[in-house]
Amino acid sequence: MKSKSHVSELFRQTVIYGLGIMLNKSVGFILIPLYTKYFPPEQIGLFTLVQSLSLFFGVVYMFGMETSFMKFFIDGKNEKERAEVYSSTLIFLLVIAAVLSSVIYFNSGSITELFRFSPEEESMFLVQILSIMMLIDTLYRFPLLLFRAKLESKTYALINLFTFFINIISNVVFIVILKYGVESIFYSYILSSGITLLAGLVLTKKYLTIKISTAKIKEMLGFGSKFIFIGFFVLFIDVSDRFFLKYYFDEFTVGVYSANYRLASVMSFLIASFKFSWTPYFLNLKTNPENKKIISSIFTNFILAGLSLFLLFSLFTELLVKIPFFGIEFLNFNYWDGLKIIPVILLAYFFSGAYSTLNAAPFFTDNTGAIFFITLSGVIVNVLFNFLLIPLLNITGAALATLFTYLIMFVIVYYYSQKIYRVDHDISRILKIGLITGVFFVTGYYFVNELNILTGWKILLNVILMGIFIFVLKVMNILDFNKLKVLWKN
């Protein structure tokens, strides 16, 4: 099979997975006008801090079983063995999650005091709701993981479409109609995830049994144990900046930062879509003799797509969110001071995705332990930059700390992956893409967007600029429209 067809297939998987992921994760982005209208920055800040705890807790709840499940299910020799993997995983995690949620629920006061959340009573209540949410969140992922492992991307997307509508409607009902507080976001997630879990169990019933294989669980835990720390490290890099901002400043600052971070998260949806499709895809490429050419082609195309999206979102996001629709801005004016971090966060997401693209080499050579040390180095760098930059630059320092961390991790994993599993990347083409993107970004963001003219004219000028950007890529034979047509058709 030619590399081009692999790129097309991965693109198809990414688009379909992307629909599911974007629908599921974009709720927070789509509802920014609702959240910033009904909740002040300090409430958004408190919610973000508590929600960030859920990400850390989630690593412990999972025990690295997401990665283990994917590998052992794909490696299953027959449907019986796959059913054993699936059912054993669900039963094991159900017991673990129930115990951990009970501990969190009955120690909500101690957790609130430990992190100095305020107000105390509201914080305790949010932590208690969080403990319930964690139980549902842990289990609902695995039917979806099964669809990923089987490359059933359409089923995955349809389930997430269903979940998306429930989540959106629930948020509107709880916030606008019932007038509940910021806990409404948790309520909506619990409801939508619970229904997704039930639907997923019904659709995967042929793999469900009441038996648990302790031997299989032990084997999976042995493989996945290293990923507990890797997952923790990655989450630390992604969310620790909120806690540093809380330490140096307050919940208000965290709220402004988080709202604007959500605006940049549109890039994260696309990166997450790629990651979701890339992991099972490259695991299925291990025995393909053409895998190095395939990886090189996919990496180059990722760089092109990622930097193009970075440019697009950087030039237009700040302009568009300030335009009032029916008298309401997409982002309430109380949060506008944080708009300056958007290009930085977009670029951080880009390097995060580029880093993940190169993870195939450690998997192919059974050197996954290296990912642990690379991610650990990222944590150390992240802590250092947060301590140095946040007191000096406030939220800009937090955004830069994240960017520098992923940039350094990308450089390390590139060097290491080339050392253990050399792939001949098209460096010349990649450097051209980076240089051209940089020139157009500086022109649009620092010149066009700073002009003292109406917003509509700025948008028009940036549209023209994007057109010229695409034209330049075509003239330099970096972008091939014929290949794009084939890619889209496939």
Q: Indicate whether 469 belongs to any domain.
A: no
Domain count, the chain: 1
Residue 88 one-letter amino acid: S
- Asked which of 80-89, 146-155, 177-186, 450-459 is least confident by mean pLDDT, the reply is 146-155
Residue 462 one-letter amino acid: N
Q: Indicate whether 450 belongs to any domain.
A: no
Residue 254 one-letter amino acid: V
Q: Indicate whether 222 belongs to any domain.
A: yes
Which tokens is 61 given?
């709840």
Q: Band the pLDDT of 20: cuts 50, 70, 90.
A: low
Q: Indicate whether 480 belongs to any domain.
A: no
* Span 40-51, pLDDT tens digits: 999 999 999 998
What is the separation of C-alpha 371 from the centre of its chain, rounded to a whole number of angstroms?
18
Nearest to 39 by CA among 245, 179, 247: 179
Nearest 5 degrees, angle CA 385-CA 391-CA 393? 80
Q: Indicate whether 455 belongs to any domain.
A: no
d(CA 376, CA 372): 6
* Span 332-362, pLDDT tens digits: 888 889 999 999 999 999 999 898 888 777 7
Q: Quick check: 390 pLDDT over 60? A: yes
Tell me if the pTM is above 0.85.
Answer: no
Q: Indicate whether 114 belongs to any domain.
A: yes
- Residue 449 has what DSSP assignment? G
Measured between alpha carbons, how far is residue 126 from residues 50, 52, 120, 123, 245 in Å? Answer: 7, 12, 10, 5, 20
Q: Indicate whether 415 belongs to any domain.
A: yes
Alpha-carbon torsion 179, 34, 237, 137, what sign?
positive
Q: Indicate whether 354 belongs to any domain.
A: yes
Q: The domain containing residue 16 runs over which residues?
A: 3-425
Cβ atoms of 220 and 95 within 8 Å: the answer is no
Which tokens is 376 given?
């650990």
Q: Band the pLDDT of 220: cuts 50, 70, 90.
A: confident
d(CA 233, CA 244): 16
Q: Band the pLDDT of 6: cuts 50, 70, 90.
A: low
Which tokens is 456 given?
């509509």
115 three-state secondary structure: helix
